[in-house]
């Protein structure tokens, strides 16, 4: 977590670590030496200092990383402010390509190139920050400390850790900014606050990606788009040559398992999941239950709630001039937002309000444009894991033909030609299940059980019992339970009948 600190007339960015990091001192010592040694040729990097005893909390001393404060906007915010200035988009995009190329020539890689780690100042000068995942030759034996933002990394990156780490992310950023030069409206359609245009789901299955389809329609970028799509389908080791256009994609060995994508957003109503992400930058999606704009002498605060805040439900908060924008679009007290589905990306904080009996997870709305109102169908798509590309077979075997006698064909488990997967009856009980059934019969026939005179649940069709195995196993010892009180007979009857059915169903499952 990064804080602005003023000391001695200077401004610093102080990074505090709320999670464990592998070999933090060694990594940042090597990074600091690298930045100092390449100060002239890599001026887009910022001096960094590791301070072992940087902050004291409740008597404990913890490290910090201190950097000079860099004036500038995050890349995504800067793009939003300059969408209709193609020459400036082109200038910044070229700087990023040059920066990544120079790093690679020096044997290094940033490791997590994404909109949040790229700052652009008023002169369109690019600075890279956050060196936690940086690769240097001196760190090669340590392995990667992190694996980068999911919406900028190759799906086959795995545990790869070398100076090629930035090539795929650079291609994603360059193509996205190039597309916005030709069609700025793509930003409103595909930017979520956690990407520029493309997402991890697009990389996992580029042939089905709507965004890639739109980019292919931009003729000057068609070849560049196809190369990135080909790179997505290949192994990580083949990415450099494919992006350079030196050969087409083909079968390629993968360096590790493709990352599990999971849902693209967290449910804003899942309080426990959000509290587990305090300090993390996440995307939330939820239906607004209530809104309130509170005016005081000092400030105005907007609350967008996803439940009862008095019981710790999550919420979005906004201060300052953003409140005027909210009122202008959504009305007084932002009543037009109530019942709407919204999406927002930001850092999860925890706040305990006066009058509430539990702390609330909350995200601050820092830019009005990042709060997106979406449809319920879009919300469900963001909250559901994407389908795996392998789940859609290109050809399906014909349906199995079963005769009246004889064993089931081997193709019984295969889907029919229509592609519809149908329910299949459970297999016949095994010898172990037969033994379980026999023991249950003994249990229910025990003198301590009172046999019900009528079934407690709807009668089930009789299931034919298979012949007992030979030789017959020795009988199990009878099970005796203490007699049940007469007043509890109705409940006991229903419980025994339902328990037996559930246990048999569980065993078959």
Lowest mean pLDDT among 221-225, 307-311, 350-354: 350-354
Q: What is the pLDDT of residue 258?
A: 58
Question: Does residue 47 have a pLDDT over 50?
Answer: yes
Contact criterion met (CB below 8 Å) for 346 and 271: no
Q: How confident is the model at residue 67 (pLDDT cuts 50, 70, 90)?
A: very high
- pLDDT of 414 > 50? The answer is no
Mean of the per-residue pLDDT values of the chain:
81
Of the listed ranges 58-62, 175-179, 241-245, 402-406, the one predicted with least confidence: 402-406
Q: Of 408, 267, 272, which is closest to residue 344 (Cα–Cα)?
A: 267
**Where are the strands (E) in 69-142, listed by range?**
73-74, 118-120, 126-128
Sort 4 into a burial class: Cβ within 10 Å, 0-12 / 13-18 / 19+. Answer: exposed
400/164: higher pLDDT: 164
Per-residue H/E/C for 15-64? EECCCCCCCHHHHHHHHHHHHHHCCCCCCCCCCCEEEEEEEEECCEEEEE
Strand residue runs (E) in 187-296: 266-267, 281-287, 290-295
What SS3 state is found at 417? coil
Q: Is the dihedral of CA 72, 74, 77, 81 positive or negative?
A: positive
Q: Residue 347 forms beta bridges with which residues?
A: 281
Predicted local confidence at residue 272, as pLDDT: 93
Q: CB-based burial of residue 75 (10 Å sphere; 0-12 exposed, 13-18 middle, 19+ buried)?
A: buried
Q: How far, in Å, are 424, 425, 497 from residue 408 at the CA level?
A: 12, 12, 33
* Mean pLDDT along residues 60-69: 93
Rounded average pLDDT over 25-54:
93
Task: For residue 34, say if its preceding peptide bond is cis, omega within 30 degrees of 0.
Answer: no
Taking the C-alpha atoms of residue 432 and residue 438, their distance in angstroms, rounded to an integer, is 10
473 SS3 class: coil
Predicted pLDDT at 43? 94
pLDDT of residue 375: 93
Q: DSSP secondary structure string, 259-273?
A: PP---SSEETT-HHH
Q: How many angstroms separate the most distant Cα atoms in the chain?
A: 92
| DSSP-derived secondary structure for 333-344 | GGGGGTT-EEEE
Higher pLDDT, 403 or 31: 31
At 331, give phi and psi (nearest 5°). 85, 175
State yes or no: pLDDT of 428 exceeds 80: no
pLDDT of residue 445: 47
- Please check the confidence at residue 334 and state whether its pLDDT lies above 60: yes
Q: Which residue has the tokens 């196809």?
A: 226
**Three-point CA angle 325, 329, 331, nearest 5°:** 100
| pLDDT (0 to 100) of residue 465 | 55
**Cα torsion for 133, 137, 138, 140, to the nearest 10°?**
60
Cβ 243 vs Cβ 227: under 8 Å: yes
pLDDT value of position 186: 97
């Amino acid at each position: 977590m990064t804080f602005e600190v003023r000391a001695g007339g200077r401004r610093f960015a102080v990074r505090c670590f709320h999670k464990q990091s592998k070999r933090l001192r060694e990594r940042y010592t090597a990074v600091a030496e690298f930045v100092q040694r390449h100060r002239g040729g890599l001026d887009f990097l910022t001096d960094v200092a590791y301070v072992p005893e940087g902050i004291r909390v409740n008597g404990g001393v913890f490290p910090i990383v201190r950097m000079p404060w860099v004036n500038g906007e995050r890349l995504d915010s800067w793009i939003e402010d300059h969408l209709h200035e193609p020459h400036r988009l082109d200038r910044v995009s070229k700087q990023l390509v040059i920066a990544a190329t120079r790093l690679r020539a020096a044997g290094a890689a940033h490791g997590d190139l994404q909109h949040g780690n790229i700052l652009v100042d008023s002169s369109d000068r690019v600075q890279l920050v956050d060196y936690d995942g940086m690769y240097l030759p001196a760190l090669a034996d340590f392995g990667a400390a992190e694996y980068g933002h999911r919406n900028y990394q190759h799906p086959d990156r795995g545990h790869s850790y070398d100076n090629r780490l930035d090539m795929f992310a650079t291609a994603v950023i360059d193509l996205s900014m190039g597309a916005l030069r030709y069609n700025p409206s793509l930003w409103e359609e595909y930017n979520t606050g956690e990407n520029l245009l493309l997402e991890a789901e697009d990389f996992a299955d580029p042939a089905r990606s709507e965004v890639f389809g739109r980019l292919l329609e931009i003729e000057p970028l068609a070849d560049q788009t196809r190369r990135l799509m080909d790179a997505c389908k290949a192994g990580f080791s083949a990415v450099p040559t494919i992006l350079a256009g030196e050969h087409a994609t083909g079968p390629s060995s993968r360096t590790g398992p493709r990352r599990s994508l999971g849902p693209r957003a967290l449910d804003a109503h899942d309080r426990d999941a959000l509290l587990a992400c305090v300090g993390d930058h996440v995307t939330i999606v939820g239906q607004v239950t209530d809104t309130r704009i509170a005016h005081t002498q000092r400030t105005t605060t907007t609350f967008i709630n996803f439940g009862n805040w008095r019981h710790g439900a999550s919420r979005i908060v906004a201060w300052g001039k953003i409140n005027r924008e909210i009122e202008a679009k959504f009305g007084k007290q932002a009543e037009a937002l109530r019942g709407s589905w919204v999406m927002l990306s930001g850092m999860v904080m925890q706040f305990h309000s006066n009058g509430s009996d539990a702390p609330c997870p909350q995200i601050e709305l820092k830019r009005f444009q990042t709060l997106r109102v979406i449809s319920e169908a879009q919300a469900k798509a963001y909250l559901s894991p994407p389908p795996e590309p392998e789940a859609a077979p290109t050809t399906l075997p014909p349906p199995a033909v079963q005769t009246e006698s004889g064993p089931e064909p081997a193709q019984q488990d295969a889907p029919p030609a229509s592609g519809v997967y149908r329910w299949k009856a459970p297999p016949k009980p095994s010898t172990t299940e037969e033994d379980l059934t026999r023991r249950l019969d003994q249990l229910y026939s025990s003198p301590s059980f009172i046999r019900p005179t009528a079934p407690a649940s709807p009668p089930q069709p009789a299931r034919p019992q298979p012949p007992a195995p030979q030789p017959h196993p020795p009988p199990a010892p009878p099970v005796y339970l203490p007699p049940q009180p007469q007043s509890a007979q109705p409940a006991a009857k229903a419980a025994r009948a339902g328990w037996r059915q559930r246990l048999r169903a569980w065993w078959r499952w």
